[in-house]
Amino acid sequence: MLDKDLSNYTDWRVRNVKQIKKGYGFVVVLIYPDGSKCEQQWSGYSGRRDAENARNEIIGALCSGTYLVFRNVLVSEFMEYWLEHGFGPHARSSETLNSYRGIVKNHIIPELGGKRMADITTADVQELYNRKLKYSESVTRLLRTVLNVSFRYAVSMKVITSNPADKAVLPRTRRKAVYNSRTIEGKKTLSADQVLLLIEKSRGTRIYLMVLLNVLMGLRRSEIIGLKYSDIDHSNRTIHVARQLGRVVNTHRDDFAAKTYTKQEIGLKTRSSDRVLPIPDMVYEAIMEERSRYEANRSRRKASFQDLDYICCSSYGRPRSRYYHQKDFKRLLVECGLPDIRWHDLRATYCTMLLKKNFSMKAISKLMGHSKEIVTVDVYGDNRELIVDGVPELEAYIKEVIPKKHIRGKTDLSDFVIDISGYLKE
């Protein structure tokens, strides 16, 4: 298979053309820093002149650094190697790695797997995008990411001379929005009065605090279960999002204690996900109530309690799983007569409300932990209809959330305090 060290040659030699079997050819000698050599034979040319022309082209490629060390590698072979040795060791989460694996297995290998990497053209990539867009726009966007990242790695490995995905574009599926205008995704978010109803109905349930952390602070589920009491700055009423819980990449269940495999502390999704957020008063009070229960359980179960400092934990101090909320959340949606949305759509609701009020895009990106403003626009600001107007109580809450200094063009997040307790019904 591929050996990355073979692409790191420091010198080379090209031997003269000679007769090889019934044709002509020549040998390329790659020389490495430790003095070792790798010989690659080029043969099968019917005439000496053809072989000489090919030899001159190879010399040019070696001089320019575009010589293909692995010229006969199939797309299927390369993608498997890239997942294991190229992307896998550097993946920030097992979820991302599994998503990329799914794209490779279900969409790239079935379509392009039998072709040589060196033969893939921009036209091949463009045709693949066009076909997959009919299947799913979100899958096609992820496919574009996987191809770009893997093909850039292929260039560095000297498997291909240039990235054929660079100039391929996703076809437009909607008419371009009017310049400098924004409409907001609304089909998968709750309206303001629905948010109020969900908050009130969840009070007293096992997932009340998790609901608040999601819909009032926009935290991802893996970030919520990774929060610790030590992350809280009580003086400034802020919390540091410093970790998430999940599976460590390239590990197996047998490597960890029982029931801890998916609850390991791992790095955040992106560098921008490491952020300090203001805590709404209502959320802070709920955290303090949870802290009281934590202390009571620690005192009552001294021998069995695991003092791991997690805010969202069991009565024995063990961290929650990523799907702990699922059953109760779906039950709440039914009891409240709310749409059957995903848990992640509460995060979308939080962002959509801020977008609707023209909150600074840069500030929203910081709050959401997005690496770029464009991510916020792409994910939550697509060209769809606005969410339904909310009740006056939550409209007032949003005004409290957005002090004047945070309106478009301002990005200072200091003194950003949210207090909605006065607006909720008794």
Query: Are residues 137 and 26 part of one domain?
Result: no
Q: Which residues pair with 38 in a beta bridge?
A: 30
- Average pLDDT of the segment spanning 302-329: 95
pLDDT in tens, 366-400: 788 876 655 555 555 543 333 333 334 444 444 54
What single letter denotes the amino acid at residue 122? T
Residue 395 falls inside a structural domain = yes
Phi-psi region of 335 (alpha: psi -120 to 50; beta: other; left: phi over 0): alpha
Tell me: do 119 and 231 sit in the same domain: no
| 269 domain-assigned | yes
171-221 pLDDT, tens digit each: 775 544 444 444 444 457 888 889 889 999 999 999 999 999 999 899 999
Q: Which of 44, 64, 84 is the last residue of a domain?
A: 64
Residue 421 has pLDDT above 70, yes or no: no
Question: Are 57 and 196 within one domain?
Answer: no
Q: At what angle do helices 344-356 and 392-401 cross, to 10 degrees?
A: 80
Is the pLDDT score of 13 beyond 80?
yes
My answer on whether 315 and 366 are in the same domain is: yes
Single-letter code of the amino acid located at 425? K
Predicted TM-score of the model (pTM) = 0.63
Q: How far apart are CA 101 and CA 103, in angstroms?
A: 5
pLDDT in tens, 71-89: 889 999 999 999 998 998 8
| Residue 9 structural domain | 4-64
pLDDT computed for residue 56 by the predictor: 95
Q: Is residue 215 part of a domain?
A: yes
Q: Are residues 125 and 36 in the same domain?
A: no
Q: Is 167 part of any domain?
A: no
Distance from C-alpha of 152 to C-alpha of 155, rounded to nearest angstrom: 5
Residues 293 and 392 in one domain: yes
Report the alpha-carbon distance of residue 96 to residue 84 in Å, rounded.
13
Is 174 contained in some domain?
no
Burial class from Cβ neighbours inside 10 Å (0-12, 13-18, 19+) for residue 85 reads middle
Among 156, 182, 214, the domain boundary falls at 156
In a domain, 69, yes or no: no
CATH number at residue 349: 1.10.443.10
Considering the domain architecture, whether residues 144 and 46 belong to the same structural domain is answered as: no
The string of pLDDT tens digits covering residues 105-160 is: 999 999 999 999 999 999 999 999 999 988 888 899 999 999 999 999 999 999 99
**Residue that finishes a domain, picked among 156, 181, 208:** 156
Of 113-122, 271-280, 346-355, the range with the lowest mean pLDDT is 346-355
Instruction: Reply yes or no on whether the pLDDT at 353 is more than 90.
Output: no
Q: Are residues 233 and 321 in the same domain?
A: yes
Residues 59 and 104 both lie in one domain: no
Mark whether 216 and 259 lie in a shared domain.
Answer: yes
Note the pLDDT tens digit of each residue in 283-312. Answer: 999 999 999 999 999 999 999 999 999 999
Q: Are 79 and 23 in the same domain?
A: no
C-alpha to C-alpha distance for 296 and 417, rounded to whole angstroms: 29
Our count of domains for the chain comes to 3
- Return mean pLDDT, the chain: 83
382 and 244 within one domain: yes
